[in-house]
A and B are shown apart, each in its own frame.
Chain A
Amino acid sequence: SQTIHQWPATLVQPVGSPLSLECTVEGTSNPNLYWYRQAAGRGLQLLFYSVGIGQISSEVPQNLSASRPQDRQFILSSKKLLLSDSGFYLCAWGWVKETQYFGPGTRLLVL
């Protein structure tokens, strides 16, 4: 069976510090991978998606970036965090026109 992992679970970072969130998927090959952000009381917002190694599409302009160095690894990064980057970050995997499966999420608080 497939599983998806995210870490860390919770992160508190000062404004201007760098960020690296990691997501890994087990039990499947060449999945589509996604990064979402969920602000309090708001719907999920797609940040990035990837259809393969090194292939990243950005949905929303921001100071975040994503990379996919391996087939089942997806990384969300920032060089300098902003207060507005606070939120709940979710990684997901899925297939075309099929259900997306979400990881447990990382709660980021930028102070």
Chain B
Amino acid sequence: KNQVEQSPQSLIILEGKNCTLQCNYTVSPFSNLRWYKQDTGRGPVSLTIMTFSENTKSNGRYTATLDADTKQSSLHITASQLSDSASYICVVSQNDYKLSFGAGTTVTVRA
């Protein structure tokens, strides 16, 4: 069964601090891995998308890494802001139609 496991389930950080979210997957074959940010009650918004050959990709203060050999990815948030409070979802794609979603990590940034 193709699975995407995210950890931690939730975390609380102080504004200005960094944090790293983890994603482990067993999906095969693998096409690409995406990180989405979902604000409460809203649709997810894409942060990064990485193919098999890409090890890292940045989008502002968000940096995603991918190790396709160990089937692990991480999302690093630098200098967190209150607006970073959201759920972060790891999505692994076999093809355009077959996406496996993680349950997400809920990040709460406090002043």
A101-B103 in contact given A44-B89, A96-B96 (Cβ < 8 Å): no
The 8 Å CB contact of B43, one of A42, A45, A90, is A90
Tell me if A103 and B43 are in contact (CB < 8 A): yes
Q: Which residues of B contact A105 (CB under 8 A)?
A: 41-43
The 8 Å CB contact of A44, one of B45, B49, B97, B101, is B101
Q: Which residues of A contact B63 (CB under 8 A)?
A: none
Tell me if A32 and B42 are in contact (CB < 8 A): no
Interface SS, A side: strand
Q: Is the interface on chain B under 10, 10 to 19, 20 to 34, or 35 or more residues?
A: 20 to 34
The 8 Å CB contact of B41, one of A41, A92, A99, A107, is A107
- In the complex, residue of chain A having the shortest beta-carbon distance to the beta carbon of B43: A102
Minimum Cβ distance to chain A for residue B72 (Å): 18
| Cα distance A41–B95 in the bound complex, in angstroms | 25
| Cα distance A25–B1 in the bound complex, in angstroms | 33
Q: Which residues of B contact A95 (CB under 8 A)?
A: 96
- Most A CB atoms within 10 A — which of B4, B31, B96? B96
Q: Which residues of B contact A98 (CB under 8 A)?
A: 49, 96
Q: Is the interface on chain A under 10, 10 to 19, 20 to 34, or 35 or more residues?
A: 20 to 34
Q: Does B46 contact A (CB under 8 A)?
A: yes
Minimum Cβ distance to chain B for residue A24 (Å): 14
CB-CB contacts below 8 Å: A76-95 with B:
88, 90, 92, 94-95
Q: Which residues of A contact B31 (CB under 8 A)?
A: 97
Minimum Cβ distance to chain A for residue B29 (Å): 13
| Cα distance A37–B78 in the bound complex, in angstroms | 31
- Most B CB atoms within 10 A — which of A42, A45, A102? A102
| Cα distance A28–B34 in the bound complex, in angstroms | 22
Q: Which residues of A contact B45 (CB under 8 A)?
A: 102
A43-B89 in contact given A32-B96, A96-B96, A97-B31 (Cβ < 8 Å): yes
Q: A45-B101, A95-B96, A107-B41 are in contact. List 8 more A-B contacts (CB 8 A).
A: A32-B96, A43-B89, A43-B101, A90-B43, A92-B43, A98-B96, A99-B49, A105-B43
